[in-house]
Structure 1
């Protein structure tokens, strides 16, 4: 966890002071690479300069860039420039609003849009757009910078999100997410051929070497319990279209789960799906897959349906949206390829 230290006001205007404690499961990793994964709004040169200047200390001692971070290491770093402004500024960004009333709205998020401001994404986010659309979104304790949000989907995942427009709606919806009574289904195109249906579970937590991705563990000390149920919808030989129903909603849950069973999402760069994992060695096939990657230039994951009880009326609402154009074109190309191979 990163904490800003207490410092004098005039110094605060010039420097950013950070303290990080390495997790107990931290694998040995160079300090410069470790900090690149953990410090927001920075660059390798900025980290390197701080190390060279003696502004990075581990357990209160200056270190070189080659130092390997170990579990429980206490790292402090002083960087020029103050912390980012945490206020969310309204931006007039078009939204695909599926439903709206006095308590909530349902948005069909496009792929490529970050949900809330954060690591190197402080504008152009869904929250910036929502703050323009709704002047006063609710903020609950622990939700600073994420007004109205009770869940999220990844930047390059498309699909449905519910937004709370007042504190009661936010509390009521959050309770449903906590109780796992929200119905959420995703469509995913994955590498390989799967059984007709299955369930994937395990403790999901940060990868020890790269904090940007998640791993599945057997040890409850290393993560949070996660469960995904999947059903095969259509097979295309080397890839399969599946429907995933979330029992829990953890960061990168479907992406990490599918990788853990050897079937990463098609074109998911973070989890290895951006390479040709199944199929022939023929140049024609390789070109075909590259063309599919170009049509669907992100992980093939879409939040297609969402169901929950309305916070005021208690009526069960259900929403469903089709896959967007890039996903549709990718599926059509695989269908055509499969038909050609079997004809």
Structure 2
């Protein structure tokens, strides 16, 4: 971009930091570049000098100076037509503000040191800069199902706000070892992270631990296969890392196929199954109108578990939590 422009802060971006506002529009900019532009006074908000961590207000005018051009992506970092077609094949729902994908098991949402294939990279299929959809929540690599993104900065801010303010209903399906008694209820169990890197686990926190994070999961058993396994509907009221996996293990009914949160009995029962956890349904406010209800069909990994234990997805209660007394 070679000219000076004045842009307005969207209503859905109220309170967003200046540096993050820039990164949403021009992902190729790094923090140092934004910091230099702000320090030199080239970036201004309502005519005044600002710092990168300044919180923006809806309706404010942002002076955007000529910006460095994005370097052409290295071939190994770009996506080819086959990858773009794959990304498009994952679409469950799309309009001018919202994109919903059916994330496959095994595909990470974001990249890392050893992770080069991930959803965030595949979003190049929709374009770059303002055209690039934005992540507003996460799913574990091995969890399949509904993943929602915002297609504009304002839509992304509103969707992220819905998750932060718990205005969403996220229903997961899981196959677990044994079956809970009682078959429905709410587990309130604070969690804490322990370990480093690949060995990090989320475990129940000791009472009063300063780093404990409140975690609450509502559960309903949908069906059982003798005494071996149960098909569960899980609704996490909070969004802690690995919450469902850690909570089910703490209940004594680990999710089958889980390589980290397991017992000897659940490992033996899994018998080669992949993680049996699927983000089945997501209900949340649309950024500009009404309510979205999104459902993802069973992944091949989950279908293998259903077939092994004789569960039929068509027998599921469509509103498994509506019958519970609150």
* TM-score > 0.5 by shorter chain: yes
Number of the residue aligned with 1:248: 238
Distance, in Å, in 2 between the alignment partners of 1:224 and 1:108 is 29
How far the C-alpha of 1:99 sits from its partner, in A, is: 0.7
TM (normalized to structure 2)?
A: 0.64
Q: Secondary structure at the match of 1:271?
A: coil
C-alpha contact (below 8 Å) 1:89/1:131 kept by paired residues: no
C-alpha contact (below 8 Å) 1:137/1:166 kept by paired residues: yes
1:150 to 126, 132, 136: 136
Number of the residue aligned with 2:222: 233
TM (normalized to structure 1)?
A: 0.61
Q: 1:322 to 1:132 in 2, by over 3 A?
A: closer
Give ranges in structure 2 of 5+ residues lacking alignment.
1-72, 312-326
Number of the residue aligned with 2:123: 130
Q: 1:224 to 1:90 in 2, by over 3 A?
A: farther
How far the C-alpha of 1:330 sits from its partner, in A, is: 1.7
C-alpha contact (below 8 Å) 2:105/2:143 kept by paired residues: yes
How far the C-alpha of 1:335 sits from its partner, in A, is: 2.1
How far the C-alpha of 1:89 sits from its partner, in A, is: 4.3
C-alpha contact (below 8 Å) 1:90/1:130 kept by paired residues: no
C-alpha contact (below 8 Å) 1:189/1:240 kept by paired residues: yes
> What does the per-residue CA deviation read over 1:307-342, in whole Å, with 9 as the maximum and x for residues that have no partner?
1111122x1110112211221222222128xxxxxx
Q: Tell me how many residue pairs correspond in the alignment.
A: 227
Q: 1:252 to 1:138 in 2, by over 3 A?
A: farther
C-alpha contact (below 8 Å) 2:105/2:301 kept by paired residues: no
Number of the residue aligned with 1:311: 287
Number of the residue aligned with 2:271: 293
How far the C-alpha of 1:208 sits from its partner, in A, is: 4.3
How far the C-alpha of 1:118 sits from its partner, in A, is: 1.7
Distance, in Å, in 2 between the alignment partners of 1:90 and 1:307 is 33
Distance, in Å, in 2 between the alignment partners of 1:137 and 1:323 is 32
Distance, in Å, in 2 between the alignment partners of 1:303 and 1:137 is 28
C-alpha contact (below 8 Å) 1:137/1:148 kept by paired residues: no
> What does the per-residue CA deviation read over 1:191-245, in whole Å, with 9 as the maximum and x for residues that have no partner?
1121220211222221247752211213351232111100000111211110001
Where do 1:23-62 residues align within 5 Å? none
C-alpha contact (below 8 Å) 1:203/1:219 kept by paired residues: no
Number of the residue aligned with 2:97: 103
Q: 1:119 to 1:244 in 2, by over 3 A?
A: farther
Give ranges in structure 1 of 5+ residues lacking alignment.
1-84, 140-146, 279-285, 337-343
Number of the residue aligned with 1:322: 297
Distance, in Å, in 2 between the alignment partners of 1:112 and 1:254 is 17
Q: 1:91 to 1:220 in 2, by over 3 A?
A: farther
Q: 1:104 to 1:119 in 2, by over 3 A?
A: same
C-alpha contact (below 8 Å) 2:102/2:144 kept by paired residues: yes
